[in-house]
Structure 1
Amino acid sequence: MRNRLSFRKVLPRERMATPIPACTMRWASTGSLAPPCSSDPAKTGGRLLLAPLLSFTEGRRKPAFFFQGALQDDMNLAEAIQQSVALMKAGRQAESTALCHKVLEVAPGQPDVLHLLAMAARDRGEPAAAEELFRKALSAAPRRADILVNFGNFLSSQGRDREAKSRLSKAIKRGPKLVSAWYHKGLLSLKTGDLREARRCATRATLLAPRHVPAWELLAAVQQKCGETDAAIGTCRQVIRQQPDAPRMHYSLGQLLRQECDFEAAARAYETAVRQGHTTPDAYLNMAEAWLEAGLPDKAMAAADSGVQQFPDNAHLHRVRARMHWELEASGDPMQLLWQSARAAPGSADLWCTLAELLHRLERKDEACAALAEARSLGCPDSPEFCLVEATSLAWQGRDDEATRQLDALDRACPGHRGIKLAFAQHVLSNGDPARAESLCAEVLQHAPLDQLALAYRGTAWQLLEDPRESWLLDYERMISQVNVSPPEGYDSTAAFFDALAEVLTSLHRTRAHPIEQSLRGGTQTNGYLFRLKAPLLRELEAQIRIAVGDILSAFPKHPDHPFWGRRPRHDRVRFSGAWSVRLNSAGYHTNHMHPAGWMSSALYIALPDEVRAGQEEGHIQFGVPLLDKDLALPPRRVVKPEVGTLVLFPSYMWHGTIPFHSQQPRLTVAFDLLPDENQAGRA
């Protein structure tokens, strides 16, 4: 790593809005220290929220042509404007913009040119210039509904939804038969949660243009959001019958079928969408996941392989493909394609970071360090993320002082970067400076007071500093709760219910190795949000869990300013941010970890080996031992013996892990993370 950093200010990374979010349902978190993927439906209660795809350039593009005449008459002016549009569509923005300015020398208030320049400024990421040009265009042509639509969309992209709604409403008034005005107002209404208005706009758009596929997608999205999944599926199938070559509608159908757990049909819908031209990273990801959930791992790997071949520079696609390859124990090196893609795109810091992180997770630390050195030699540019991985790699090699200097430099260069601060906190905790770690955590918590990883590191720092606030944050006796989950009606005993559950859950473990980026070792984990599945026993289990959680919440003390106790929701309404099952085999265990995406985490014991039932500590869950680069030899603060049917609940920021066991019988659990219901949260 260079001693001098070539960047001074870190701006938030811009992300393109994904029209239909990746329905990855992938690898529900069991305590990864990295924040889970926000698109993961396991983190949104398992709902696959459709959002219609946008299409601003429908139909075949006209070829660009060159205008060489003088701009002195209406015909030449019209041709110049048409040429500007064609150049813009062809991606030749600089030429288009230059021609537009030439037109404005002759016709200073020409609204089409001002409109085109506004769109170009928007696409260049110049919002102030774009807004000024939109307003000039509307000043010149105040009744132009198309300008109003694009200005409204621009305002929405800037988070100014109220102004956007006003502009789109004016567009409908000016052009009541303009499909795009109804469509985009419907999109905005869906975004803001006005489902009645979204339905009205979508319905009107479909009536005005019965063959306009995006309008039907919008209607299906509204139906899904309203809980009318069957109607949404029916809408998709109706359009497909009338227009079989509608790739985006096939994709939307795949999303809905996957939500309904018809995984093979969903995979085939994604397959059709890709075959018809909807070749996006999300399409390949979802197709691979659906084939895996359908119990067809070979097809899953083939879809993932096709995805990375189609999009070799997509780091997230590579990450999922490598994890799937590892967990299915496919032949060959799971990192081979990622190595090839990183070398083919040496300037992609995302690819090199992903490669190094996964190699490290696979205990291939020397290769991880070699990858970073190769990236440097090939000219990989500085980015905060790349420099952070470089700095932490020094600690992997035992070069702690160098790592400290580099992390300190990074923190000073990027003072608002959460990931750098928490990596630095972890490093200094490992190397005897808990006071510095506490200070770094305090900086993060000042901006995000409920950041679970910052709370976890702060608790360890307070412990090492013998700060009395540790017992306030981490009360191992009161905050770790045990409650029996009662069987539902129809079962003679707890044993009968959990024996039946064990059979169902075992059938869902379709991989062969532990997830690369999770805490378990020597076992497998189910794919996606567990309670989305249609198995009646799982529905019954969810209901019984909610009853048990309610019993625990009713006994919470009133500490409104506490990061755990104080988040008890009004009426004790909670939502799942993830749920999964883990099956540990002999010598299996969980490394010490915490859950960054939860408030309250859990372990529910479904089936236990005889050795765990009878043993002293084998297979037990321990609390209070942090996961750091170095083992500080801190003893567990509490150890809890598992019992079939017992649910253990604890703060998500509390370190916990499983002690290895040896048996021919598996250890089977269900785990989940809870959050206060956002619509019901309040102080009890």
Structure 2
Amino acid sequence: MTVGVQVEQAKALAAAGRLDEALALLIPLAAQEDAPWQALSVQADLLKRAGRLEDSIETSRRLVAVRPQSVPARHNLASTLGDLGRAVEAERVCREAMAIGGDAPETWLVLARALQAQGRFDAAEDAYRQTLARRPGYGDALDDLSQLIWMRTADAEAACAPLDAVIAATPDDPSPRRIKARLLAYAGQAREGYEALTSGPLDAPGELAAAQAVLPLDPRRALEHADRAAVLAGRPIPAIMVTQAECRLALGEAEAALALIEPLRRAEPLDQHVLAFQATAWRMTGDARYRTLYDYDAFVRPYRLETPEGWPTLDAYLADLARALNDLHQLKTHPVGQSLRGGSQTPAPLSESDHPAIRAFFRAVDAPIRAYMAAVGHGDDPLRSRNTGRYRMMGSWSVRLQPHGFHADHIHSRGWLSSACHIELPPAVAGQGREGWLRFGAPPGRADLPPEYYVQPQAGTLVLFPSYMWHGTEPFGGEATRLTLAFDIVPA
């Protein structure tokens, strides 16, 4: 079999969803010292699709060495570096691609994101605009630019300006209206966002976005949009089915929601949103299986951090860590698509930080994570059945809530275990009113299902829990901020 035939066969297997077979076919070929560039290129792409980003980077570096004048090779390497949070390297490789002629909007977008992750917001905003100059309707760039403006200014009108220009030029395209509706919802203007979205024609993704936009305001209308999205899609789409189920739950129709959730659970057994909605439906129907998922005593566990090497006390360490994190909180308000309201979130994965105090944090949490896995053990439920005793990070960030800020109830769709480590706390958390406390078990849109479990935050204490578990925080008063560092992990 020739190299070309092997590569094409691997691509065909991948297109058919047989990713492991495709990689197995390429591994012997790509492992050769003089591996053909075509094999390296496809293998790097398939490794990335499989979530093996470190392996993809290694293969991409080999490809760049073989084809040093290839703009796509450098672009793909930069993109994967960006996905891993290696912003400085991603920027360098982007600029190398541009130096040899790369000028594609995709490369400008990777550069813009790398600059934003480094906190270089003026340069990032300029790079987003350069991206849009090359492709005016580029949805990902519009989304990122408008969100950056929003986080920097807390000015929804200014953030919507790039979107409004595109909407005016292409009124029949629902994509920029979808972005605007989502931004306005997180700016506290959900009805205005819904009206903007529905001011023009909608395709299936637009109907789905309309359902999500109006759900907090009118669940019945949201269901109508979700049902239209399903008809327009013409085939079962998990994201649409999940939204239909969420609408049914908001309407109190738990059995109808379960009819949608159960096939999704079979098809997507690890989907954290589906698990959360199944748990909500079970709670509503009084199903005893609810407690197999929401066993707070077993699954929500606090751990006091040990003082990292190099610091005399935990308090001294936390003071240094707080200074490092506060320096990173340069944005004015919360991002779009996240749970926090009234605060800011760091823009880049903290696990990639070179700051000594931040690096020490990830060494300090290793023992609690391993203790948690040992304590929950193994079983047939969705949490314990995945417990391998090994883990890898899937994201890490810091949130600084301002007074009266809070986390809306949410889950973490990409995690297995999620966390909250409290670094600096306002005096209000010590009171009797549960201000600033972690809360668990309250699904959004169901006022009749209140929180079932609370954890009082303590500085230096890490709380670990399942990613599918609804959680949020109570608002707090006073004048001090609430600083946390959090991460998600998945089994390794």
Counterparts in 2 of 1:636 and 1:186: CA distance versus 1, 3 Å: closer
Matched, 1:157 2:6: no
* Distance (whole Å) between structure 1 residues aligned to residue 472 and residue 376 of structure 2: 24
CA contact (8 A) 2:399 2:485 kept: yes
Instruction: Decide whether aligned partners of structure 1 residues 608 and 435 sit closer, same or farther in structure 2, where only a CA change above 3 A counts.
Output: same
Task: Pick the aligned partner of 1:407 from 222, 226, 232.
Answer: 226
Quote the Cα distance in structure 2 between the aligned partners of 1:482 and 1:579.
18
Farther-moved stretch of structure 1 (314-323 vs 152-161): 152-161
Equivalent pair of 1:168/1:184 in contact (CA under 8 Å): no
Cα deviations by residue, 1:93-123 (Å, 9 ceiling, x for unpaired): xxxxxxxxxxxxxxxxxxxxxxxxxxxxxxx
Change (3 A) 1:153 1:344: farther
Q: Which residue of 1 aligns with 2:132?
A: 308
Of structures 1 and 2, the larger Rg is shown by 1
Match 2:37 to one of 173, 176, 183: 183
Between the aligned partners of 1:436 and 1:423, the Cα distance in structure 2 is 13
Structure 1 CA distance, aligned partners of 2:251 and 2:22?
52
Does residue 1:333 correspond to 2:166, yes or no?
no
Give the structure 1 partner of residue 470 of structure 2: 655
- Quick one: distance in 2 between partners of 1:417 and 1:557? 34
Cα displacement (A) at 1:476: 1.7
CA offset at residue 473 of structure 1?
A: 1.7
- In structure 2, how many angstroms separate the alpha carbons of the residues matched to 1:597 and 1:511? 24
Partner residue of 1:513?
333
Which residue identity does 1:430 align to in structure 2?
Answer: A
C-alpha distance 557-417 of structure 1, shift in aligned 2 (>3 A): same
| Structure 1 counterpart of 2:241 | 421
SS in 1 for 2:102: coil
TM-score of the pair, normalised by structure 1: 0.63
Of residues 580, 583, 600, the one that matches 2:417 is 600
Residues 205, 229 of structure 2: 8 Å contact kept: no
Cα distance in 2 between the residues matched to 1:581 and 1:302? 25
Q: 1:271 to 1:499 in 2, by over 3 A?
A: same
Aligned-pair CA distance for 1:249: 7.2
Change beyond 3 A, Cα 1:483–1:273: same
Query: Which segment is superposed worse, 450-459 or 270-279?
Result: 270-279
The partner residue of 1:355 within 168, 180, 187 is 180
- For each residue in 1:465-506, what CA deviation from the matched residue of structure 2 results, as whole angstroms up to 9, or x when unmatched? 111111122112221111111112232221111111111111
Q: Which residue matches 1:496?
A: 316
1:437 aligns with 2:257: yes
Letter aligned with residue 383 of structure 2: F
- For residue 148 of structure 2, what is the amino acid of its counterpart? M
Provide the aligned length of Structure 1 versus Structure 2. Answer: 475
Q: Deviations over 1:54-98 (max 9, x none)?
A: xxxxxxxxxxxxxxxxxxxxxxxxxxxxxxxxxxxxxxxxxxxxx
> Equivalent residues in 2 for 1:22-33 (5 A)?
none
> 3-state DSSP class of the match of 1:601?
strand
Quick check: 1:620–1:658 contact (8 Å CA) kept in 2? yes
Q: Secondary structure at the match of 1:593?
A: coil
Higher relative contact order (CA 8 A, sep 6+): 1
* Matched-pair identity in %: 28
Structure-1 separation of matches of 2:433 and 2:185: 33
The one of 49, 55, 58 equivalent to 1:225 is 58
CA displacement at 1:319 relative to structure 2? 0.9
C-alpha deviation, 1:410, in angstroms: 4.5
Q: Distance in 2 between matches of 1:463 and 1:275?
A: 58
Cα distance, 1:288 vs. partner? Answer: 2.0
Q: So what's the TM-score if we normalise by structure 2?
A: 0.85
Helix, strand or coil: the match of 1:333?
Answer: helix
Distance, in Å, in 2 between the alignment partners of 1:469 and 1:303 is 50
Contact 2:26/2:39 (8 A) holds in 1: no
Kindly tell me: are residues 617 and 342 of structure 1, through their superposed partners in 2, closer, same or farther at Cα, counting changes over 3 Å? same
Counterpart mapping for 1:357-376 below 5 A: 357-376=182-201
2:146 to 322, 325, 337: 322
Q: 1:586 to 1:347 in 2, by over 3 A?
A: same
3-state DSSP of counterpart to 1:675 = strand
Does residue 565 of structure 1 match 2:422?
Answer: no
Equivalent residue, structure 2, for 1:664: 479
Offset of residue 625 of structure 1: 0.6
Query: 2:51 maps to which residue?
Result: none
Native 8 Å contact 2:151 2:333 kept in 1: yes
Shift of 1:438: 1.9
CA 361–393 in structure 1, closer or farther in 2 if over 3 Å, else same: same
Query: 1:308 offset after TM fit, Å?
Result: 2.0
Residue 626 of structure 1 is matched in structure 2 by 443
- Give the Cα separation in 2 of the matches to 1:315 and 1:166: 35
Q: Paired residue for 2:403?
A: 586
> CA offset at residue 251 of structure 1?
5.0
SS in 1 for 2:159: coil
Task: Indicate the residue corresponding to 2:455 in structure 1.
Answer: 640
| Larger CA deviation: 488-497 vs 498-507 | 488-497
Q: Which residue does the alignment assign to 1:610?
A: 427
Q: Name the CA shift for 1:476/1:260 in 2 (closer, same or farther; >3 Å).
A: closer
1:296 maps to what in 2? 120
Amino acid at match of 1:467: D
CA spacing shift, 1:256–1:533, aligned 2, 3 Å: farther
CA–CA distance in 1 between the matches of 2:342 and 2:364?
Answer: 29
Residue 270 (structure 1) shift: 3.2
Cα distance in 1 for residues equivalent to 2:459 and 2:332: 24
What residue in structure 2 maps to residue 532 of structure 1? 352
SS of equivalent to 2:115? helix
Alignment partner, residue 103 of structure 1: none
1:374 and 1:272, CA in 2 relative to 1: closer, same or farther beyond 3 A?
A: farther
Structure-2 residue corresponding to 1:209 = none
Letter in 2 for 1:283: T
Q: What are the ranges of 5 or more consecutive residues in structure 1 without an aligned counterpart?
A: 1-144, 171-178, 194-220, 678-684
Give the conservation status (yes or no) of the 8 Å contact 1:259–1:532: no
